[in-house]
Amino acid sequence: MSHNSKRTAQWRHHLKAEFGYRDLTDDVAELVTRSGVTDGIVVVPVTGSTGAITTVEFEPGALKDLRDALERIAPIGEHYAHNARWGDGNGFSHVRSALLKTSLSVPVVDGKLVLGTWQQIVVLNLDNREREREVVAVLPDPVQLHASNMGEARQEPRGPPAG
Protein backbone atom coordinates (compact mmCIF):
# COMPACT_ATOMS: atom_id res chain seq x y z
CA MET A 1 0.00 0.00 0.00
CA SER A 2 1.10 3.53 -0.64
CA HIS A 3 -0.61 6.75 0.27
CA ASN A 4 -0.20 10.42 -0.46
CA SER A 5 -2.15 11.75 2.49
CA LYS A 6 -4.24 10.60 5.41
CA ARG A 7 -7.24 10.54 3.05
CA THR A 8 -5.92 8.42 0.17
CA ALA A 9 -4.41 4.99 -0.33
CA GLN A 10 -3.29 3.02 -3.35
CA TRP A 11 -2.85 -0.72 -3.72
CA ARG A 12 -1.58 -2.91 -6.55
CA HIS A 13 -2.65 -6.56 -6.65
CA HIS A 14 -1.65 -9.25 -9.10
CA LEU A 15 -4.87 -11.10 -9.97
CA LYS A 16 -5.55 -14.24 -12.00
CA ALA A 17 -7.22 -14.12 -15.42
CA GLU A 18 -11.00 -14.07 -16.01
CA PHE A 19 -12.07 -13.91 -12.37
CA GLY A 20 -9.12 -13.07 -10.15
CA TYR A 21 -10.27 -11.45 -6.91
CA ARG A 22 -9.13 -9.95 -3.63
CA ASP A 23 -10.97 -8.73 -0.54
CA LEU A 24 -10.11 -5.06 0.10
CA THR A 25 -12.40 -4.49 3.09
CA ASP A 26 -9.69 -4.47 5.77
CA ASP A 27 -7.44 -2.21 3.66
CA VAL A 28 -10.20 0.34 3.13
CA ALA A 29 -11.25 0.17 6.81
CA GLU A 30 -7.63 0.83 7.83
CA LEU A 31 -7.57 3.93 5.58
CA VAL A 32 -10.76 5.20 7.24
CA THR A 33 -9.21 4.67 10.70
CA ARG A 34 -5.94 6.35 9.71
CA SER A 35 -7.78 9.31 8.18
CA GLY A 36 -9.66 10.20 11.36
CA VAL A 37 -12.81 10.80 9.30
CA THR A 38 -15.87 10.10 11.42
CA ASP A 39 -18.66 10.74 8.90
CA GLY A 40 -18.46 10.87 5.11
CA ILE A 41 -17.84 8.54 2.19
CA VAL A 42 -14.93 6.60 0.81
CA VAL A 43 -14.69 6.24 -2.96
CA VAL A 44 -12.92 3.09 -4.21
CA PRO A 45 -12.15 2.84 -7.95
CA VAL A 46 -10.06 0.32 -9.87
CA THR A 47 -8.23 1.55 -12.97
CA GLY A 48 -8.82 -0.14 -16.30
CA SER A 49 -11.83 -1.16 -18.35
CA THR A 50 -11.58 -4.90 -17.66
CA GLY A 51 -11.56 -4.75 -13.86
CA ALA A 52 -14.39 -4.18 -11.41
CA ILE A 53 -15.11 -3.23 -7.81
CA THR A 54 -18.15 -4.67 -6.11
CA THR A 55 -19.47 -5.82 -2.77
CA VAL A 56 -20.26 -9.46 -2.19
CA GLU A 57 -20.01 -11.98 0.61
CA PHE A 58 -16.37 -13.01 0.27
CA GLU A 59 -16.78 -16.77 0.45
CA PRO A 60 -16.27 -19.46 -2.22
CA GLY A 61 -19.97 -20.13 -2.86
CA ALA A 62 -20.95 -16.48 -3.43
CA LEU A 63 -17.86 -15.88 -5.58
CA LYS A 64 -18.68 -18.94 -7.72
CA ASP A 65 -22.28 -17.78 -8.04
CA LEU A 66 -21.13 -14.34 -9.21
CA ARG A 67 -18.70 -15.85 -11.73
CA ASP A 68 -21.42 -18.20 -13.03
CA ALA A 69 -23.90 -15.31 -13.36
CA LEU A 70 -21.35 -13.29 -15.34
CA GLU A 71 -20.78 -16.27 -17.63
CA ARG A 72 -24.54 -16.46 -18.31
CA ILE A 73 -24.83 -12.71 -18.96
CA ALA A 74 -21.60 -12.18 -20.96
CA PRO A 75 -20.23 -15.61 -21.99
CA ILE A 76 -16.53 -15.87 -22.76
CA GLY A 77 -17.09 -17.73 -26.05
CA GLU A 78 -19.71 -15.36 -27.46
CA HIS A 79 -19.01 -13.12 -30.49
CA TYR A 80 -18.06 -9.56 -29.45
CA ALA A 81 -17.51 -6.69 -31.88
CA HIS A 82 -14.59 -5.60 -29.71
CA ASN A 83 -12.80 -8.88 -30.47
CA ALA A 84 -13.39 -8.47 -34.20
CA ARG A 85 -11.89 -4.99 -34.12
CA TRP A 86 -8.94 -5.56 -31.76
CA GLY A 87 -8.34 -9.33 -31.92
CA ASP A 88 -7.54 -9.56 -28.21
CA GLY A 89 -10.41 -11.87 -27.25
CA ASN A 90 -11.46 -9.90 -24.18
CA GLY A 91 -14.74 -8.38 -25.33
CA PHE A 92 -16.52 -10.31 -22.57
CA SER A 93 -14.20 -8.65 -20.01
CA HIS A 94 -15.23 -5.15 -21.08
CA VAL A 95 -18.93 -6.02 -20.96
CA ARG A 96 -18.62 -7.61 -17.50
CA SER A 97 -16.68 -4.62 -16.18
CA ALA A 98 -19.28 -2.19 -17.52
CA LEU A 99 -22.06 -4.18 -15.85
CA LEU A 100 -20.34 -4.43 -12.45
CA LYS A 101 -18.67 -0.98 -12.58
CA THR A 102 -15.16 0.20 -11.80
CA SER A 103 -15.92 2.30 -8.72
CA LEU A 104 -18.07 2.30 -5.64
CA SER A 105 -18.75 4.59 -2.70
CA VAL A 106 -19.20 3.36 0.85
CA PRO A 107 -20.64 5.51 3.64
CA VAL A 108 -18.53 6.13 6.73
CA VAL A 109 -20.43 6.68 9.99
CA ASP A 110 -18.82 7.01 13.41
CA GLY A 111 -15.43 6.24 11.85
CA LYS A 112 -16.52 2.89 10.40
CA LEU A 113 -17.47 1.60 6.95
CA VAL A 114 -21.22 1.07 6.65
CA LEU A 115 -21.33 -2.48 5.28
CA GLY A 116 -23.53 -5.43 6.12
CA THR A 117 -22.14 -8.26 8.23
CA TRP A 118 -21.47 -10.44 5.16
CA GLN A 119 -20.68 -7.61 2.72
CA GLN A 120 -17.08 -7.16 1.66
CA ILE A 121 -15.41 -4.83 -0.85
CA VAL A 122 -13.88 -6.95 -3.62
CA VAL A 123 -11.70 -6.06 -6.61
CA LEU A 124 -12.02 -8.33 -9.66
CA ASN A 125 -9.84 -8.90 -12.69
CA LEU A 126 -12.18 -9.84 -15.53
CA ASP A 127 -9.58 -9.73 -18.31
CA ASN A 128 -8.55 -12.86 -20.22
CA ARG A 129 -5.02 -12.56 -18.86
CA GLU A 130 -3.48 -12.03 -15.44
CA ARG A 131 -3.28 -8.38 -14.54
CA GLU A 132 -1.79 -6.08 -11.96
CA ARG A 133 -4.82 -4.13 -10.75
CA GLU A 134 -4.43 -0.68 -9.23
CA VAL A 135 -7.02 0.38 -6.67
CA VAL A 136 -7.15 3.86 -5.17
CA ALA A 137 -9.30 4.83 -2.20
CA VAL A 138 -10.16 8.44 -1.43
CA LEU A 139 -12.01 10.05 1.45
CA PRO A 140 -13.08 13.46 0.11
CA ASP A 141 -12.50 16.40 2.46
CA PRO A 142 -15.94 17.22 3.91
CA VAL A 143 -15.06 20.92 4.18
CA GLN A 144 -14.28 21.08 0.46
CA LEU A 145 -17.42 19.09 -0.36
CA HIS A 146 -19.50 21.48 1.72
CA ALA A 147 -17.91 24.53 0.10
CA SER A 148 -18.48 23.19 -3.42
CA ASN A 149 -22.11 22.35 -2.59
CA MET A 150 -22.62 25.84 -1.15
CA GLY A 151 -21.31 27.30 -4.40
CA GLU A 152 -23.90 25.31 -6.32
CA ALA A 153 -26.61 26.42 -3.92
CA ARG A 154 -25.79 30.09 -4.59
CA GLN A 155 -26.33 29.76 -8.32
CA GLU A 156 -29.22 31.77 -9.67
CA PRO A 157 -32.33 29.72 -10.29
CA ARG A 158 -33.33 29.32 -13.87
CA GLY A 159 -36.58 31.05 -14.70
CA PRO A 160 -39.10 30.23 -17.36
CA PRO A 161 -37.97 30.87 -20.91
CA ALA A 162 -38.57 34.39 -22.18
CA GLY A 163 -41.67 34.41 -24.25
Q: Is residue 97 a part of any domain in this protein?
A: yes
Q: Is residue 162 a part of any domain in this protein?
A: no
The domain total for the chain is 1
Q: Which helix (H) or strand (E) holds 68?
A: helix 60-73
Could you tell me the pLDDT band of residue 15, with boundaries at 50, 70 and 90?
A: very high
Q: What percent of the chain has pLDDT over 70?
A: 84
Q: Is residue 72 a part of any domain in this protein?
A: yes
Q: Is residue 159 a part of any domain in this protein?
A: no
- Look up the domain containing 66 and give its range: 8-152
Min mean pLDDT across 27-41, 101-115, 145-159 is at 145-159
115-149 burial, b if ≥16 CB within 10 A, otherwise e? eeeeebbbbbbbbbeebebebbbbbeeeeeeeeee
pLDDT of residue 5: 74
pLDDT of residue 12: 98
Q: Is residue 105 a part of any domain in this protein?
A: yes
103-109/40-45 β-pairing: antiparallel
CATH number of the domain to which 14 belongs:
2.60.120.460
pLDDT tens-digit readout, 110-155: 999 999 999 999 999 999 999 999 999 999 976 655 455 545 544 5
